Amino acid sequence: MSLFLKSLKELPPFGQALGMVLDEADSEPGVAVLLPGAEHLSGHADDGVFHTGVILATIDNTAGWCIRDHRDYAEGTSMATLDLRVDFVNPASLSETLRVRAVCEGFDGDIAFVRATAETTTTKVLIATGQATFMLGTPSTPNPATASKVVGGAVE
Amino acid sequence: MNKLDQAGWAMLNLDLAQQQLMKMPYAGFLGVELRVGPEGLETITVDRADLIGNTNLPALHGGVIGSLLDITGLLTLVFLKSLDNAPRLVDMDIDYLRSGQARPTYGRAEIVRGGRRIANVRALLWQDDPERPIAIGRLQFLLPKAKV
């Protein structure tokens, strides 16, 4: 985990509302986020499992963070999710805490590719896998890492 | 079906969808509400400070958008197929088309194919104009086992 993420404690409001916590003890590649079960995250009152949307939201958040943690990321560059696919492999009981890990697989100029998994922390059951693509920078505020390469013009 | 039958059918199935919504604490937390519009079932979700992902823009969290597609798809399936039990989401694929502003978000869905075990659903969300969706989703649901 980079120095940047170690200093990052500020969750987006929705991450805070769900109860996401950065897993600072994690030493494996990428970024890991913990999500303890809670009543408002329940998908079905009778079943006591995490709602699929909650798992998806945590994957989305962690995927974004692992890009900001990447060595090629220029701090402050805006980031937009282009697409996200999630496979819900197993339901997860709310008595568990989820660990979502996201790894940036590739960084090609303004596009970043991420893979993520969600598993239960005690039983280590695979809950979901995800795959996301992100776009860095906007036309008005380009990604500083690629801004000098003008498309169709002279490369400075 | 004549108009009166159709209205009665919509009310009955709206009730089924409402029941599933009430059994879903997470949807309650997001503040999802239902109505039947000219195009069928619609979800409405009012923006709130704790649904924001990017405070600078501000924009709805991508996870909120994904969750609303999920919930809209599931409840539309309950509505259109008169289900008593909730289907289970197998996988979904979201295209984020525009950033979600801090304003009410509307959703609707259609069944692309409804089989006996699996239903393929397409869901979309919009804010100002249904012709300019902020996100679309492709969702696969496992249907509850039919009562024997």
Separation CA A129–CA A119 (nearest Å) = 9
Residue A115: inside a domain, yes or no? yes
Give, as one character, the DSSP assignment of residue B96: E
DSSP result, A113-131: EEEEEEEETTT--EEEEEE
Nearest CA in chain B to A135: B96
Q: What's the average model confidence in pLDDT over A10-26?
A: 92
Which residues span the domain enclosing A94?
3-136
Residue contacts between A and B (CB atoms, under 8 Å): 117
Decide if B11 contacts A22 (C-beta within 8 A): no
Residue A151: inside a domain, yes or no? no
At A5 the pLDDT is 57
A contacts of B92 (beta carbons < 8 Å): 52, 56, 85-86
Give, as one character, the DSSP assignment of residue A147: T
Amino acid at B119: A
Q: What Rg value do the Cα atoms of chain A yield, rounded?
A: 17
List the single best residue of B61, B72, B78 to mutate versus A (max A Cβ within 10 A).
Answer: B61
Residue A85: inside a domain, yes or no? yes
B contacts of A42 (beta carbons < 8 Å): 24-26
CATH of the domain at A113: 3.10.129.10
Decide if B69 contacts B123 (C-beta within 8 A): yes
Nearest CA in chain B to A44: B24
Residues within 8 A of B (CB atoms), A 49-88 only: 51-54, 56-61, 64, 80-88
pLDDT tier for residue B38 given thresholds of 50, 70 and 90: confident
Nearest to B26 among A12, A40, A85 (CB): A40
> How many domains does chain A divide into?
1
Residue A108: inside a domain, yes or no? yes
Nearest to A13 among B29, B49, B88 (CB): B49
Token pair 């943690």 is found at: A69
Separation CA B123–CA B74 (nearest Å) = 9
Residue A111: inside a domain, yes or no? yes
Token code pair at residue B112 = 């692309």
3-state secondary structure (DSSP) of residue A83: strand
DSSP result, A14-55: HHHHHT-EE-TT--SSSEEEEEE--GGGBS-TTT-BB-HHHH
Residue A126: inside a domain, yes or no? yes
Residue A118: inside a domain, yes or no? yes
Closest CA to A77 of A12, A6, A140, A130: A140
Instruction: Count the neighbouring beta carbons within 10 Å of the beta carbon of residue A37.
Output: 19
Q: What's the average model confidence in pLDDT over A104-121?
A: 94
What domains are there in chain B, each with its CATH number?
3-142 (3.10.129.10)
- The whole-angstrom distance between A148's CA and the closest CA on chain B is 25
At A154 the pLDDT is 47
- The whole-angstrom distance between A111's CA and the closest CA on chain B is 15
3-state secondary structure (DSSP) of residue B46: coil
At A71 the pLDDT is 84
Least confidently predicted of A27-36, A71-80, B121-130: A71-80
Token pair 């086992």 is found at: B145
Q: Which value does ipTM take for this structure?
A: 0.94
Residue A153: inside a domain, yes or no? no
